């Protein structure tokens, strides 16, 4: 497909609603090339996305949010679960809006027919016209962005354009610093083309054992709110909570921005034994493609990083680090076969990994192997959680989710 026909394709209105981009400007591209689609899938390595679990988690989150609005965070392709399908499911299930990191991600959601409010938390790099045309709400944190938006608003003859202002209360990533805020507010109050409808900050330590850092950040956030109010800037929505803050009930304010909880994981322990009741949304499965006997003392895989401590049966699965099975899981991680845990042995390679199935009676080619999620089979019932994989890989659940690569097709399931 050439570039022109691809642009022409993208200009097909997808829903009739929320489509205002039918002007002469080429629209921003979504992040292409696209990942493998179910229809193209020959390989047995697949991610199953449970839409019922997604709706369930939204309801758990909304219960915690109370009267605050719930804006599900769907950056990075909805944490690897697939932005359009996740957004459609959550929009129908009553999400109040969505947050994304990039303009491209927001455009992808609008192209998928999403009409709910979308907050673009960063990464629009001068795409002011696109923001206006698509009805997106940008987060601003410097004056050049405000001026760029004001110019675009004048050119489009749009009314005062709603923006959210981000203040840096202690994360030192994005946001107007407390020191800059008085002068910033002074200038911002004079720009008639934008209207500060929201005020936000981001918490650095919402999941820390102590809430001292969060308390200090919120003290500054309140001070920022007062300072802005004195200059006539009174946003109707204030928000700060990510999953950790929300589940702790710390700083709910007017809206919450949960990401991880939507996908079924919590960064904080539940104070009571029952747990938060979140359900994992993604299950990653493949099938054994080869099984061999390995004599005691023989090596397995690149670098001979594992030697069979006894006469062993070793299965090969067609999933490797290029699919998102971290190389750090070599000699550490587990997969489920026939409902039982089996260790990953030797190095994880790009497309394949080896599993010690000596203790799995009957293990054979075509057996299902579950890399993430639950399995029940003749040898039992077990689950590999995203939290467990993160510990084994020396990272965090967010990274595990977002690393399942586009080579792994997503299958959407209603159980």
- Whether the upstream peptide bond of residue 33 has omega within 30° of 0, thus cis, is yes
Helix (H, G, I), strand (E, B) or coil at 260: helix
Residues 383 and 146: their CA atoms lie apart, in Å, by 49
Contact status, residue 317 vs residue 335, Cβ threshold 8 Å: yes
In angstroms, what is the minimal distance from the CB of 19 to ligand PLP?
27
Rounded to 5 degrees, φ, ψ at 373 are 115, -165
Q: Which residue is nearest to ligand PLP (CB)?
A: 259
In angstroms, what is the minimal distance from the CB of 75 to ligand PLP?
6
Q: Which of 32, 125, 302, 381 is catalytic?
A: 302
Residues that bind ligand PLP (CB under 6 A): 73, 75, 121, 202, 242-244, 257-260
Question: Is the Cβ of residue 202 or residue 340 nearer to ligand PLP in the bound state?
Answer: 202
Question: Is the Cβ of residue 55 or residue 75 nearer to ligand PLP in the bound state?
Answer: 75
Tokens of 114: 């999403």
Question: Is the Cβ of residue 31 or residue 171 nearer to ligand PLP in the bound state?
Answer: 171
In angstroms, what is the minimal distance from the CB of 217 to ligand PLP?
13
Q: Which of 62, 75, 166, 340 is catalytic?
A: 75
Instruction: Give the rounded distance of the alpha carbon of 10 from its chain centre.
Output: 24
Active site residue 75: yes
Name, in order, each residue with C-beta under 8 angstroms of 171's C-beta and a sequence gap of 6 or more. Answer: 201, 202, 203, 204, 217
In angstroms, what is the minimal distance from the CB of 168 to ligand PLP?
12
Tokens of 41: 């899938």
Look at strands 299-300 and 306-307 and give their pairing: antiparallel
CB atoms closer than 10 angstroms to residue 411: 16
In angstroms, what is the minimal distance from the CB of 258 to ligand PLP?
5
Residues 319 and 299: their CA atoms lie apart, in Å, by 20
Residues 314 and 292: their CA atoms lie apart, in Å, by 5
Question: Is the Cβ of residue 259 or residue 280 nearer to ligand PLP in the bound state?
Answer: 259
Question: Is the Cβ of residue 120 or residue 372 nearer to ligand PLP in the bound state?
Answer: 120
In angstroms, what is the minimal distance from the CB of 164 to ligand PLP?
10
In angstroms, what is the minimal distance from the CB of 252 to ligand PLP?
13
Rounded to 5 degrees, φ, ψ at 93 are -85, 0
- Which of 41, 49, 38 shows the shortest CA–CA distance to 74? 49
Question: Is the Cβ of residue 109 or residue 344 nearer to ligand PLP in the bound state?
Answer: 109
Contact status, residue 315 vs residue 369, Cβ threshold 8 Å: yes
Active site residue 412: no
Query: What is the DSSP code string of 332-391?
Result: T-EEEETTEEEEEES---SS-EEEE-TTSTT--TT-EEEEEEEEEETTEEEEE-HHHHHH
Question: Is the Cβ of residue 242 or residue 326 nearer to ligand PLP in the bound state?
Answer: 242
In angstroms, what is the minimal distance from the CB of 268 to ligand PLP?
10
Question: Is the Cβ of residue 21 or residue 243 nearer to ligand PLP in the bound state?
Answer: 243
Environment class of 209 (CB within 10 Å of its CB; exposed 0-12, middle 13-18, buried 19+): exposed
Helix (H) or strand (E) holding 71, with range, is strand 69-73
Tokens of 332: 């550490």
Catalytic site residues? Answer: 75, 302
């Amino acid at each position: 497909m050439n570039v022109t026909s691809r642009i022409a394709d993208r200009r097909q209105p997808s829903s009739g609603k929320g489509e205002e981009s039918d002007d002469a400007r080429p629209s921003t591209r979504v992040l292409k090339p696209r990942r493998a689609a179910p229809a193209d899938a020959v390989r047995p390595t697949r991610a199953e996305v449970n839409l019922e679990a997604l709706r369930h988690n939204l309801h758990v989150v909304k219960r915690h949010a109370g009267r605050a609005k719930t804006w599900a965070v769907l950056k990075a392709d909805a944490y690897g679960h697939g932005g359009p399908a996740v957004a459609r499911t959550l929009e129908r299930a009553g999400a109040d809006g969505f947050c994304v990191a990039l303009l491209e991600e927001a455009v992808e959601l609008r192209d998928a027919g999403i009409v709910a409010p979308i907050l673009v938390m960063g990464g629009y790099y001068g795409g002011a016209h696109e923001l206006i045309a698509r009805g997106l709400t940008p987060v601003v944190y410097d004056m050049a962005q405000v001026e760029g938006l004001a110019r675009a608003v004048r050119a489009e003859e749009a009314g005062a354009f709603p923006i959210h202002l981000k203040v840096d209360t202690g994360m030192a990533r994005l946001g107007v610093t407390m020191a800059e805020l008085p002068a910033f507010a002074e200038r911002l109050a004079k720009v008639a083309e934008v209207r500060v409808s929201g005020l936000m900050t981001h918490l650095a330590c919402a999941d820390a054992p102590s809430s001292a850092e969060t308390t200090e950040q919120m003290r500054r956030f309140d001070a920022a709110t007062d300072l802005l109010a004195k200059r006539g800037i009174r946003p109707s929505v204030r928000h700060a909570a990510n999953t950790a803050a929300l589940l702790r009930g710390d700083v709910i304010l007017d809206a919450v921005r949960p990401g991880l909880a939507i996908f079924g994981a919590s960064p904080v322990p539940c104070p009571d034994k029952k747990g938060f009741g979140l359900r994992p949304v993604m299950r990653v499965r493949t099938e054994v493609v080869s099984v061999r006997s390995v004599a005691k003392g023989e090596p397995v895989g690149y670098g001979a990083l594992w030697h069979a401590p006894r006469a062993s049966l070793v299965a090969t699965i067609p999933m490797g680090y290029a699919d998102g099975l971290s190389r750090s899981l070599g000699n550490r991680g587990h997969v489920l076969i026939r409902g039982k845990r089996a260790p990953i042995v030797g190095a994880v390679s790009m497309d394949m990994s080896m599993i010690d199935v000596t203790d799995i009676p009957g293990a054979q080619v075509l057996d299902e192997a579950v890399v993430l999620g639950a399995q029940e089979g003749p040898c039992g019932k077990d689950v590999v959680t995203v939290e467990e994989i993160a510990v084994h890989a020396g990272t965090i659940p967010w990274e595990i989710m977002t690393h399942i690569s586009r080579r792994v097709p997503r299958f959407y399931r209603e159980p």
